[in-house]
Amino acid sequence: GQQVMQIPQYQHVQEGEDFTTYCNSSTTLSNIQWYKQRPGGHPVFLIQLVKSGEVKKQKRLTFQFGEAKKNSSLHITATQTTDVGTYFCAGGSSYGGATNKLIFGTGTLLAVQP
Amino acid sequence: DTGVSQNPRHKITKRGQNVTFRCDPISEHNRLYWYRQTLGQGPEFLTYFQNEAQLEKSRLLSDRFSAERPKGSFSTLEIQRTEQGDSAMYLCASSLGGGRITEAFFGQGTRLTVV
């Protein structure tokens, strides 16, 4: 079945350092979404990428979707303590021309030391 | 609060008992998803509905699991003859869907502990 892997599993940074997490799918995706889950919380939507090679920015966060639509990355510039949490990518799975479900990646836990 | 609501928030049950969870999605959302999440893992897809129709169910899901969404509104997830391996957070999410999937809104989850 379709698998979505993320690396690294865990990243510890000093506040102000940059952070990147990478997402790889075993199959071509129709779209990719990114979610953030704070400790003890539920996943919260950050962004969706649809087009091959697409790049989107949200303040200090930069999201990329690979040309082959099988990988993606999230880069955070100058991390802050509020960035702490687990970042999940979620690939859209297509069936019959429609994207029916999200397959979540394994997640990257980000710890930020003040 | 117009977000996704799940009840109960916590459930402790003895092995072998049946449990049922409820999810109330955002009212105008036609798609509803159930996921299961264990510590340190990403949400694992269980099943999803478009309106009242259950369109897909994970092959990983045993016959002890069943979900319904009568009238395309709230949904229930039942686990029969619970096992210790069923202990997890059960997450419900809803979204607007036609063709491409849109942003999914998650509920707070129901944490199940089987003792």
In which band, very low, low, confident or very high, does the pLDDT at A25 lie, cut at 50, 70 and 90?
very high
- Measured distance CA(B46)–CA(A113) in Å, rounded: 36
Sequence-distant (6+) residues with CB within 8 A of B8 are: B21, B110
Residue-level pLDDT at B97? 74
Using a CB–CB cutoff of 8 Å, tell me whether A104 touches chain B.
Answer: yes
Q: Which residue has the higher pLDDT, B74 or A98?
A: B74
Residue-level pLDDT at A94? 63
Residue-level pLDDT at A93? 72
Amino acid type, B43: P
- Measured distance CA(B2)–CA(B29) in Å, rounded: 11
> Does the pLDDT at position A98 exceed 60?
no
pLDDT digits (tens, 9 = 90+) for B71-109: 889 999 999 999 999 999 999 999 987 666 788 999 999
> Does the pLDDT at position A96 exceed 70?
no
Residues across chain B: 115
In which band, very low, low, confident or very high, does the pLDDT at A102 lie, cut at 50, 70 and 90?
confident
In which band, very low, low, confident or very high, does the pLDDT at A32 lie, cut at 50, 70 and 90?
very high
In this complex, the residue of A31, A50, A105 whose CB is nearest that of residue B42 is A105
User: What is the chain B residue with the closest CA to A43?
Assistant: B106
> Does the pLDDT at position A99 exceed 60?
no
Query: Which residues on B lie below 8 Å from A97 (Cβ)?
Result: 99
Residues 44-103 (A) with a CB less than 8 A from some CB of B: 44-45, 48, 50, 88, 90, 92, 95, 97-103
